[in-house]
Amino acid sequence: MKFAWLCSHESYQPEDLVKQAVAAEQAGFDVVLGSDHFHPWVDDTSAAGFVWSWLGAVAAQTTNVQLGTSVTCPLFHYHPALVAQMAATTDRLSGGRLLLGVGTGEALNERPLGFPFPGYAERQARMQEALEIMHRLLAGEKVTFHGEHYTTETAKLYSPPVGDVPILMAAGGPKSAQFAGTYADGLITSVKDSAETVAKVIAPYRRAASEAGKQHLVLATRWTVLADGPSEAWEALSSMRGLRAPGRLEATDPAELRIRADEMDPAEVLASYAVVPDAAGLIESYHPLVTEVGADIVSIQVMSLDPMGAIEMIGKEVLPQLRAAATR
């Protein structure tokens, strides 16, 4: 079992996230992930760096930690062939350390650039075509593809990856999980209730992957807030508070999400996160992802007023306990 640290590009500037990534490797994390956003969730205490430039910088300043996106959308402002090229280049720069996490996106990152954001049925249809294009390009093929949504003409990666680049797809329900098992190389899922996630997401994914003759690869994530009390927790969560605002799936302007979030009771927003004061709380929060979910990769996603201190503390006090639990 591997443990990942998520670098939140909606919360910190890219130069600060490079420092987080280096610190995470030094602290003993196995994987460093980066979110991919054009717009953040609020407009006042946020950031939105370009994750693919950042991954190149992280590749140059780390040696062993795997790198990945959680997640990139290859459907609209990125053509899937371009995502394959970005992934291959990053894989080469990192010496074969890339995991490519993809998802069907959010209006927040597409409509500001003039792209539509259709319903899920069309986005899933686009994803099926995108996965075929990306898989074939990453496998070294010269791809001529004429689909309903995408076209390529003799497309080929002339700087191919140095090895296999697994493509993991984000899913939160059984239909998406089955789709990921059939068409992707792995699953990314956010866990609130472990038993529910296993039943509704991971089990359907595993069945579909087995039927497709594929290996299983599950990356399980959970957001926590490391804070001593509600006031500190609300401050730590500031850049992500729009994530729980009503209408977030249709919004294009982070200012609107900030206004909606600030109209909510902070206690209501915080109730959707695990708020813990210390290492023991983090261990308790992530222990089910290790022992009940049985993930291959557990992504530790922590909002804190001192992220560098949190990384160091987790490396010393949390990861050893979680690794021990994984081997029992």
3-state class of 182 per DSSP?
A: helix
Catalytically active residues, by annotation: 37, 106
Angle CA(24)–CA(93)–CA(156) in degrees, nearest 5?
135
Instruction: Pinpoint the alpha helices (H) of 14-66.
Output: 14-27, 51-61
Specify the DSSP class assigned to residue 261: H
**Residues 269, 281 contacting (CB under 8 angstroms):** no
**Residue among 7, 8, 40 at smallest CA distance from 24:** 7
Per the DSSP assignment, residues forming a β-bridge with 325 are: none
Tell me the residue type at 154.
T
End-to-end CA distance of the chain: 12
**Residue among 201, 199, 222, 227 at smallest CA distance from 290:** 222
Can you tell me the distance from the alpha carbon of 281 to that of 29, in angstroms, rounded to the nearest whole number? 19
**Residues 266, 50 contacting (CB under 8 angstroms):** no
